[in-house]
Amino acid sequence: MSNVSFSLGQGQIALISGASGCGKTTLLRCINGLIPRSYKAELSGQIFLNGIDYRDKSLSNISQVVGTVLQDPERQIVGAYVQNEVAFGLENLELPRAEIVRHVDETLDYLGIAHLKHRETFTLSGGEKQKIALAGVLAMRPDILALDEPLANLDPASVQDALALIRRLADEGKTILLIEHRVEDVLSIKPDLTLHLQDGHTSYLGPVDGLLKDADYHAVKLPAPIVIARSKGRNATLPPAMSPASETAEALIQIEDVSFNYDGGPQILDHVNLTIRQGDVIALLGPNGAGKTTLAKHTIGLLRPNSGRVLLRGQDSREMTVAQMARTIGYVFQSPRHMLFAPTTREELAFGPRNLGHTEQDIQIDTEQALAVVHLSAEIDRPPLALSFGQQKRVSIASILAMRSAILVMDEPTAGQDFANYMSFMDSVVGLGVTEERPYSFSAILFITHDVDLAVCYANRVLIMGSGQIVADGPPPQVLADFDLMQRHRVIPTSLLKANLDYLSRTGQFMRAEGLATVQENE
């Protein structure tokens, strides 16, 4: 990162955007004091917080001014129970017990998550963990909030709630630095300043209107009407639409009347039935805590049903080891830190194929190919845990691609990803490349996502889960046209979905915004 300068006043919001690895998180680490105190780096220039140079202050002092919510909430949570987690920072400030209890209760009430107070943190969904991480920071009452992709793990309705909260905090006087790839969503709270970084340098600094006018819409996800207007006359080459799988195709995974809970806790899956067939590309939507990840883990044998059964190509999963199932199904975890461990990216990608008995020549070819697909070839000899969160997520995806599994299951594949990167690798894994030969041909793909537009662009089948059950299952134009059902299950229509539904009678299929621009031109 080099020569970045900006100023932000009390009660203002700055949106910081840019590709994964461009320096956004590094900038926050400079502001919150982690650089150079915890991360050794050369730091030049000056940073003033509330007009004061904190260069010689301790992290403890800075943390009372700048509260940080990390990109990966699991790296931030240390308490076994929610109330202990929210109290952790206050305890380190040595506040009296009664004051700590009051701050914890007030913060949980303020965020509307008092019902989670006595929950064990490991049982929380990714979105719930994000809220708890924010609660732990807010309880310390900082003047400045540094939020590193706070929307990444939230369902669409929770995104709206979180953004309304961020706007409320700003209106109450908090200064907010918000790193986010979901630019379209953030526009609703009218950020005062936009800083767009590219390769560590400022490529845009100014009001939002300028970003919408000048930003490359292939690199920054902009509202569909803006993309449609700006892409007219450009004759974009688009991938073909997704075709539905045949109803008579081979059943690859059968989930039959499956119910599940953790050690006598509340029911997470409630008599779920689902068949995944050859050719299915399924988007699994639904609110945080609906059971989506739990269902996905049953497909790979990481969890076993309390009742019912899971069949993989006709064989009961109870009769198979996880290793045996991994030969057929590749599973990308929601958090890359649940997968990454090797000293280099090269070794990380080689681990799975080597354990499956692939030849060293095939391992080398598949490793290089998978890294090229996720645009990380240059990082092949770097430690994966030294990369940014978005890059770590892409390494975790590449590690599964290198295994050449027949079925691909991805939990939030686009979390922490910039728009250009995730569209590119999704094109690759789904087989929709239009400019180059794509090397992957999966028998079926299931991806859990909160990004409705991902379902619009890539799925040929959409599932919506709610309260441990599948409440909708069908082609995207059918399922995603039912706004009442979607909103009951916290799935919010996007501008691209609405535009596609407006054009559906003329297109007969869902398309990307550039495709809709072509349709509009031809009318």
Residue whose token pair is 């490349």: 433
Residues in contact with 112: Cβ distance below 8 Å, sequence separation at least 6, in sequence order = 161
Q: Do 163 and 282 belong together in one domain?
A: no
Q: Is residue 82 part of a domain?
A: yes
Residue 439 has pLDDT above 70, yes or no: no
pLDDT at 435: 43
Backbone angles phi, psi at 7, to 5 degrees: -135, 150
Residue 425 has pLDDT above 90, yes or no: no
pLDDT at 154: 81
Q: Do 374 and 438 belong together in one domain?
A: yes
Nearest Cα to 513, choosing from 196, 198, 157, 234?
Answer: 234
What are the pLDDT digits (tens) for 33-83?
999 999 888 889 999 999 999 888 998 899 899 999 987 788 889 999 999
Q: Domain range for residue 129?
A: 13-231
| Portion of the chain with pLDDT greater than 70, in percent | 97
pLDDT at 259: 97
Local confidence band at 432 (pLDDT 50, 70, 90 cut-offs): low
Q: CATH number of the domain that 39 lies in?
A: 3.40.50.300
What are the pLDDT digits (tens) for 174-219?
999 999 988 989 999 999 999 999 999 999 999 999 998 888 898 8
The number of distinct structural domains making up the chain is 2
Local confidence band at 523 (pLDDT 50, 70, 90 cut-offs): low
Residue 462 corresponds to which tokens in the numbers above?
């959409």
What's the average model confidence in pLDDT over 369-398? Answer: 92
Local confidence band at 434 (pLDDT 50, 70, 90 cut-offs): very low
Residue 408 has pLDDT above 90, yes or no: yes
Q: Do 185 and 256 belong together in one domain?
A: no
Q: Do 102 and 210 belong together in one domain?
A: yes
**When comparing pLDDT for 439 and 158, which is higher?**
158
Q: Do 226 and 259 belong together in one domain?
A: no
Residue 30 corresponds to which tokens in the numbers above?
């400079």
pTM of the entire predicted model: 0.87
Q: Do 334 and 363 belong together in one domain?
A: yes
> Are 50 and 231 within 8 A, CB to CB?
no
Residue 437 has pLDDT above 60, yes or no: no
Residue 92 corresponds to which tokens in the numbers above?
């380190």
Q: Is residue 380 part of a domain?
A: yes
Give the domain-ending residue among 201, 231, 261: 231
Lowest mean pLDDT among 90-99, 123-132, 361-370, 491-500: 123-132
H/E element, 307: strand 307-312
**When comparing pLDDT for 460 and 264, which is higher?**
460
Q: Is residue 488 part of a domain?
A: no
Measured at the alpha carbon of residue 183, what is the angle toward residues 180 and 184, in degrees to the nearest 5? 145
Q: Do 132 and 71 belong together in one domain?
A: yes
Q: Do 226 and 306 belong together in one domain?
A: no
| Portion of the chain with pLDDT greater than 90, in percent | 71
Distance CA 452, CA 476 (A): 10
pLDDT at 257: 98
Distance CA 101, CA 107 (A): 10
Residue 414 corresponds to which tokens in the numbers above?
């686009």
Nearest Cα to 46, choosing from 31, 67, 29?
Answer: 31
Residue 220 has pLDDT above 80, yes or no: yes
CA distances from 153 to 131, 150, 411, 464, 486 (A): 10, 8, 10, 17, 18
What's the average model confidence in pLDDT over 247-261? Answer: 95
Q: Do 213 and 259 belong together in one domain?
A: no
What's the average model confidence in pLDDT over 310-321? Answer: 94
**How many angstroms separate the first and last alpha carbons of the chain?**
47
Distance CA 108, CA 86 (A): 8
Residue 436 has pLDDT above 50, yes or no: no
Residues in contact with 437: Cβ distance below 8 Å, sequence separation at least 6, in sequence order = none
> Are 313 and 288 within 8 A, CB to CB?
no
Q: Do 227 and 279 belong together in one domain?
A: no
Q: Is residue 3 part of a domain?
A: no
What's the average model confidence in pLDDT over 357-366? Answer: 94
* Strand positions, DSSP E, 418-487: 444-448, 461-466, 469-474
Q: Do 278 and 332 belong together in one domain?
A: yes
Backbone angles phi, psi at 203, to 5 degrees: -100, -20
**When comparing pLDDT for 497 and 322, which is higher?**
497
Residue 264 has pLDDT above 90, yes or no: no
Amino acid at 383: P
Lowest mean pLDDT among 87-96, 123-132, 384-393: 123-132
pLDDT at 433: 52
Give the domain-ending residue among 231, 266, 295: 231
Q: Is residue 133 part of a domain?
A: yes
Q: Do 411 and 304 belong together in one domain?
A: yes
| Mean pLDDT over the full length of the chain | 91
Q: Is residue 416 part of a domain?
A: yes
H/E element, 201: strand 201-206
Residues in contact with 153: Cβ distance below 8 Å, sequence separation at least 6, in sequence order = 73, 125, 126, 127, 129, 130, 288, 334, 412, 415, 450
3-state DSSP call for residue 336?
helix
Q: Is residue 5 part of a domain?
A: no
Q: Is residue 395 part of a domain?
A: yes
Asked whether the CA dihedral 502, 506, 510, 512 is positive or negative, the reply is: negative
